[in-house]
Structure 1
Amino acid sequence: MAITQTSDSEAYRDAIGPAQVTSVLPDGDNPIADYKMDADERVIVALGYKQEFKREFSLWTTFCVSFAVLGLLPSFASTLYYGMGYAGTAGMVWGWIIAMIFIQCVAMGMAELCSAMPTSGGLYYAAAVLAPPRYGPFAAWITGWSSWIGQVTAAPSVNFSLSAMILACGSINNPSYVPTNWQVFLLTTLIMILHAAISSMPTKRVAQFNSWGSTFNIIALVIVLITIPAAAKNTPRFKSSHEVWGHITNLTDFPDGVAVLMTFVGVIWTMSGYDSPFHLSEECSNANIASPRAIVLTSGVGGLMGWFLQLVVAYTVVDIDKVINSDLGQPWASYLLQVLHPNAAMAVLGLTIVCGFSMGQGCMVAASRVTYAYARDDCFPLSRYWKRVNSYTQTPVNAVIINAVLGIFMCLLILAGDVAIGALFSIGAIAQFVAFAIPIFIRVFFVGNRFRKGPWHLGPFGPYIGAVGCAFVMLMVPILCLPSATGSDLTASLMNWTCLVWGGPMLAVTIWYIVDAHRWFTGPKVNVEHAIHDIAEIVSDDPDEQPSVEPSSGDVKAN
């Protein structure tokens, strides 16, 4: 798109129209276009990027992807060990509701950023634009790599749990059958390939698939919430409220208060999908309103329904130790067999498996958009391949493929045992949480009143809500690294490897930035044709004569 000559800057600006977003284009710089852009394209162009995707996601379908990534039922099933195994039923019910209040603050702070900067780069882009002068590229580098590490490990960890649940069904039906690590790995690999194929489809098909999956997730969750209390076989059917709420079963070597804080890892991991609308915002219609709404809706609905599920399990569980240490190797399956008759337990486990498949696919979609966005700004080796958009599907197929290949290689950890593969769960929680907090922290403590709000915002409460969310993240980062045992009780199988599996790669990329990347990495790159001078000036048709500009990482500006 180009304009060859104009002497009427007002007419040009009328054609472009205003975009109520934070922009990386310097004041007075205008994108060049010879047609009238719609509202969504004005927004993305003001952010410095061409419109390359079809905008076929709505508020509902965007919410569906994020709710699929959230995957309450399979996520809860995968992390039941952390909630129940650290502090018992009181830790579950109190831990979830306390953590959700603070997680909602993080989600609202993120939504405010999304409204101002609705781009696939999401948190990475916001950190670059909002950081103080000279620190934008480094802030983007750290945020981007932490976010990407969390995103790329999400699908493998979800699919590993899904495979374990599927094979646990075989063990339930045939007690003599014991799944091998090779069988778990091969099944996980098959699921990864299926998810990659679905995620490479055209945007409309991906949206439809996730809409169906999330609808099923919601229906299945409601069915489970009704079925377990109604069909529980125990006598008495429910525990007393005093036992559920007032008795902390501390299975760690730390004080009760710390044990309850440690249960938050399950909440944080389960609730880590609400950033997906941010990454899908370039494919969403009315993105700077619909995407932030989807973020808050995902966190709010997910938090409330997740707490209901916590209550159901807390009131019906009989023997926590047998659930956690069952030979099945799957606490959720052990719990279901403990409280339900076998046929009902298998039915609920089947619903969980279908929901888990939808969740893994949602994780694959979100991760591919993050990979595409970062490759677009040359963050990765061979970025020119990963940032290509397939001409037929209009989706980043190459990004999907590289994520799937990396995920399959990660799943080789299954062959090394439970301790090694458990690292995928720990890295996802802390990596995403840190990435969520960095741009919110910068917005609250460094930008102040210079922040250009989008059409969805928190008004005067924005900085305070963001500060509360950041404080919670700072508290939880060391808690997420604690093992359940200390002293002589601490063994390799009980060790929390989060410090190593997240801290090691982050240390490596930090050293890479200091030694080399700071020379060539400048943060988000403008890829639209634009004029640094006033549009009234004559603009040449020759692209070699077009003026260029590097985005400003320190100043918050708006078109």
Structure 2
Amino acid sequence: MSTDAPRKRSVADEPVTSVLPGGDVPYDPTHEFDADEEVLAALGYKSEFKREFSLFTTFCVSFAVLGLLPSFASTLYYGMGYAGTAGMTWGWIVAMVGIQCVACSMAELCSSMPTSGGLYYASAVLAPPGWGPLAAWITGWSNWLAQVTAAPSVNYGVAAMILAAGSIQNPDYVPTEYQTFLLTVLLMLIHGVMSSLPTKWLAQINSGGSTFNFIALIIVIIMIPAGTDRESRGLPRFTSSSEVWGTIYEGTSFPPGISVLMSFIGVIWTMSGYDSPFHLAEECSNANIASPRAIVLTSGIGGLLGWFLQLIVAYTVVSIDDVLESDLGQPFAAYLMQCMSQKATLAILSLTIIAGFSMGQGCMIAASRVTFAYARDDCFPLSSYWKKVNTTTRTPVNAVWFNCVIGIILLLLIFGGELAVGALFSIGAIAAFVAFTTPIFIRVFFVGHRFRAGPWNLGRASIPIGVVASAFVALMVPILCLPSVTGADLTPDMMNWTCLVYGGPMLFVLVWWAVSARKWFKGPKVNVQHLMLGRAENVVEGVGEGKAGERESDGEMPELGLTGSTDKPPELK
């Protein structure tokens, strides 16, 4: 018997959810597939990126996108302003239970389907028969709204801190909306150039940025309690625990419990960057293990360190009213001026600004990968331009600049006032978690134990954790749309614009689906062309240009990809 014949393999040998006919692994006599290429091909895609991200560098990008220090500084208005120190202490813990459940469930999906399309791809594969394209459409657009608003909102916060630092040094200077807009646009353009660099450079830049982010966070956590000058102002060094944990600030017109839930916007927005490893999976080696680990590490470490920072601020803040109403226009800077010397305040602001710059860069990278993945499936007008990978840098440069332009347009909300531009933060929170939870909900309530888990999975805890994650997001979506005031006090200036700015585009997307998209959008398009098992009779005859895995009838993604072994998933590794 000849030993030259290719070994027959099935995707049952690989712990992934395959969409290829019969669960086969592609065979190409001119190319030897490595493990990552084989897994990606089983999911229907050819490898287009260099896999130069490791577990550590993927975690670095994700932690940079999370950006605890700048995220906290940018959303302090909501966390402190809605429920005071109680929302910042035990409120953070309550929110993190739900957030960690979402992160773990997402990591399990990532291990099973490590593609740049991420959540969008998972929704399409897991949805009930006939519903895959609609599930992918909703998940994809919600996720894209979260991604495209991330860099503008981060850079807006950084610009506000830079100008606030100028105001501290020169009390006569009062930043204008026009100056804030121009500075934020400048930051967007710088990040656009940086995000167009080769993957290897991006990995190194983000490793350095994430390392600085982590070090800056630790320095600030130590520096504030060590350097507070509250005692020189006739105050105790720290506020009493009974006041910090037991007093709910009346920052809204709603009952205290609702106010605490409303304060979760700061937690949710801050913790919404841990999905980045999912979108970078096609650039990560050993992706179906490294990427989910990076998701859980980011959420877990970020949640713990974020809580420490919340505690420190809660125990040292002097007057919440003065923080919220300061002429500096940046609550974190106003807080620091209450309990720190001017030099210490400027030092902490400097660290936060640099960390925020790194965070904005990470957000731009993650958003470009999402846009590339969706454009690859022709979701956008002119998708042929946005899905191109630059031949020199091997990165989706066109997608980077598409997002950059959209982000700059969104920054025009700055001229609508603080509440209008604040919608960028609440949109990011809601849009991200709607996208995070849609495939989790489908997996829990429609797929159940038929789900083909990857090597990183939750075992028997998978469904209970998914239920908690789904319930948490279902509760928070309407809560985060509530205005802070009610009755006669509710004017257009005090309105929560999240309903309009998020609901409007999503309503348009649904109408677009009903009128047109349902006729041509069939979900993620696989693009692997190959000989199955090396036999000519197994050439996949796809739709149109012979794309493997598509149905000859309608080109839709195959239904639930439970090919291969049906054994119970292995325990969590």
Q: TM-score range by the shorter chain?
A: over 0.9
Secondary structure at 2:345's aligned position in 1?
A: helix
1:177 aligns with 2:173: yes
The answer to which of 49-58 and 243-252 deviates more is 243-252
Q: Is the 8 A contact 2:9 2:533 kept in 1?
A: no
Deviations 1:337-387 (A, max 9, x none): 100000001000100000000000000000000000000011111111100
Task: Map 1:326-341; keep pairs closer than 5 Å.
Answer: 326-341=326-341
Task: Map 1:42-61; keep pairs closer than 5 Å.
Answer: 42-61=38-57
Deviations 1:491-522 (A, max 9, x none): 22221111111111001011101110011101
Provide the rounded CA distance (Å) in 2 between the counterparts of 1:71 and 1:475: 25
2:102 to 96, 103, 106: 106
The answer to which of 533-542 and 445-454 deviates more is 533-542
Residues 542, 271 of structure 1: CA spacing in aligned structure 2 closer, same or farther, 3 A cutoff?
closer
Secondary structure at 1:352's aligned position in 2?
A: helix
Provide the rounded CA distance (Å) in 2 between the counterparts of 1:222 and 1:350: 14
1:117 aligns with 2:116: no
Provide the rounded CA distance (Å) in 1 between the counterparts of 2:161 and 2:465: 38
- Displacement of 1:133 after TM fit? 0.5
1:132 to 118, 128, 133: 128
Q: Is the 8 A contact 2:114 2:282 kept in 1?
A: yes
1:265 aligns with 2:265: yes
Provide the rounded CA distance (Å) in 2 between the counterparts of 1:239 and 1:545: 68
Q: Is the 8 A contact 2:25 2:41 kept in 1?
A: no
Q: Tell me the amino acid that sits aligned with residue 234 of structure 1.
A: R
Q: Which residue matches 2:238? A: 238
Provide the rounded CA distance (Å) in 1 between the counterparts of 2:314 and 2:541: 68
1:557 to 536, 558, 562: 562
1:21 aligns with 2:26: no
Provide the rounded CA distance (Å) in 1 between the counterparts of 2:524 and 2:160: 40
The answer to which of 407-416 and 151-160 deviates more is 407-416
The answer to which of 544-553 and 406-415 deviates more is 544-553
Q: Which residue matches 1:223? A: 219
Task: Map 1:19-98; keep pairs closer than 5 Å.
Answer: 19-27=14-22, 29-34=24-29, 35-98=31-94
Secondary structure at 1:13's aligned position in 2?
A: coil
Q: Which residue matches 1:502? A: 502
Secondary structure at 1:148's aligned position in 2?
A: helix
1:375 aligns with 2:350: no
Provide the rounded CA distance (Å) in 2 between the counterparts of 1:250 and 1:481: 18
Residues 413, 41 of structure 1: CA spacing in aligned structure 2 closer, same or farther, 3 A cutoff?
same
2:151 to 141, 152, 155: 155
Q: Which residue matches 1:527? A: 527
Residues 21, 28 of structure 1: CA spacing in aligned structure 2 closer, same or farther, 3 A cutoff?
closer
Greater relative contact order, per chain length (Cα 8 Å cut-off, separation 6+): 1
Provide the rounded CA distance (Å) in 2 between the counterparts of 1:195 and 1:243: 42
- Aligned CA-pair RMSD: 2.0
Secondary structure at 1:188's aligned position in 2?
A: helix
Deviations 1:388-436 (A, max 9, x none): 0011111101100100111111112223322322221121110001000
Q: Which residue matches 1:280? A: 280
- Displacement of 1:8 after TM fit? 9.4
Deviations 1:175-221 (A, max 9, x none): 11112212111111111011011111110100111110110011001
Q: Which residue matches 2:353? A: 353
Deviations 1:438-495 (A, max 9, x none): 0000000001121110000000110110110000000101101011100011122221
Q: Which residue matches 1:3? A: none
Q: Is the 8 A contact 1:66 1:276 kept in 2?
A: yes
1:192 aligns with 2:197: no
Provide the rounded CA distance (Å) in 2 between the counterparts of 1:13 and 1:314: 62
Q: Tell me the amino acid that sits aligned with residue 507 of structure 2.
A: L
Deviations 1:228-277 (A, max 9, x none): 00111012110111111111122211111111111111100000000000
Give % identity.
67
* Aligned pairs, number: 552
Q: Tell me the amino acid that sits aligned with residue 254 of structure 1.
A: F
Secondary structure at 1:248's aligned position in 2?
A: coil
Secondary structure at 1:27's aligned position in 2?
A: helix
The answer to which of 172-181 and 135-144 deviates more is 172-181
Residues 493, 342 of structure 1: CA spacing in aligned structure 2 closer, same or farther, 3 A cutoff?
same
Provide the rounded CA distance (Å) in 2 between the counterparts of 1:90 and 1:539: 63
- TM-score (norm: length of structure 1): 0.95
Q: Tell me the amino acid that sits aligned with residue 355 of structure 2.
A: C
Residues 149, 229 of structure 1: CA spacing in aligned structure 2 closer, same or farther, 3 A cutoff?
same
Provide the rounded CA distance (Å) in 1 between the counterparts of 2:225 and 2:539: 72
The answer to which of 506-515 and 420-429 deviates more is 420-429
Q: Is the 8 A contact 2:47 2:282 kept in 1?
A: yes
Structure 2: unaligned runs, 5 residues or longer: 551-555, 565-573
Q: Is the 8 A contact 1:61 1:210 kept in 2?
A: yes
Provide the rounded CA distance (Å) in 2 between the counterparts of 1:288 and 1:547: 24
Q: Tell me the amino acid that sits aligned with residue 176 of structure 1.
A: D
- Displacement of 1:15 after TM fit? 11
Provide the rounded CA distance (Å) in 1 between the counterparts of 2:120 and 2:534: 30
Secondary structure at 2:492's aligned position in 1?
A: coil
Residues 288, 96 of structure 1: CA spacing in aligned structure 2 closer, same or farther, 3 A cutoff?
same
Provide the rounded CA distance (Å) in 2 between the counterparts of 1:105 and 1:524: 26
Q: Tell me the amino acid that sits aligned with residue 377 of structure 2.
A: D
Provide the rounded CA distance (Å) in 1 between the counterparts of 2:181 and 2:41: 43
Structure 1: unaligned runs, 5 residues or longer: 1-6
Residues 524, 547 of structure 1: CA spacing in aligned structure 2 closer, same or farther, 3 A cutoff?
closer
Secondary structure at 2:302's aligned position in 1?
A: helix
Q: Is the 8 A contact 1:63 1:277 kept in 2?
A: yes
Residues 326, 539 of structure 1: CA spacing in aligned structure 2 closer, same or farther, 3 A cutoff?
same
Q: Is the 8 A contact 2:119 2:139 kept in 1?
A: yes
- Displacement of 1:538 after TM fit? 4.4
Q: Which residue matches 1:4? A: none
Q: Which residue matches 1:293? A: 293
Q: Tell me the amino acid that sits aligned with residue 535 of structure 2.
A: A
Q: Tell me the amino acid that sits aligned with residue 42 of structure 2.
A: A
Q: Is the 8 A contact 1:105 1:468 kept in 2?
A: yes
Q: Is the 8 A contact 1:86 1:252 kept in 2?
A: yes
Q: Is the 8 A contact 1:66 1:274 kept in 2?
A: yes
Residues 467, 315 of structure 1: CA spacing in aligned structure 2 closer, same or farther, 3 A cutoff?
same
Q: Which residue matches 2:138? A: 142
Provide the rounded CA distance (Å) in 2 between the counterparts of 1:539 and 1:348: 63
The answer to which of 326-335 and 176-185 deviates more is 176-185
Deviations 1:63-85 (A, max 9, x none): 01111110000000011011111
Provide the rounded CA distance (Å) in 2 between the counterparts of 1:540 and 1:468: 44
Residues 299, 542 of structure 1: CA spacing in aligned structure 2 closer, same or farther, 3 A cutoff?
closer
Q: Which residue matches 2:203? A: 207
- Displacement of 1:16 after TM fit? 9.1
Provide the rounded CA distance (Å) in 1 between the counterparts of 2:95 and 2:539: 56
- Displacement of 1:134 after TM fit? 0.4
Provide the rounded CA distance (Å) in 2 between the counterparts of 1:474 and 1:27: 37
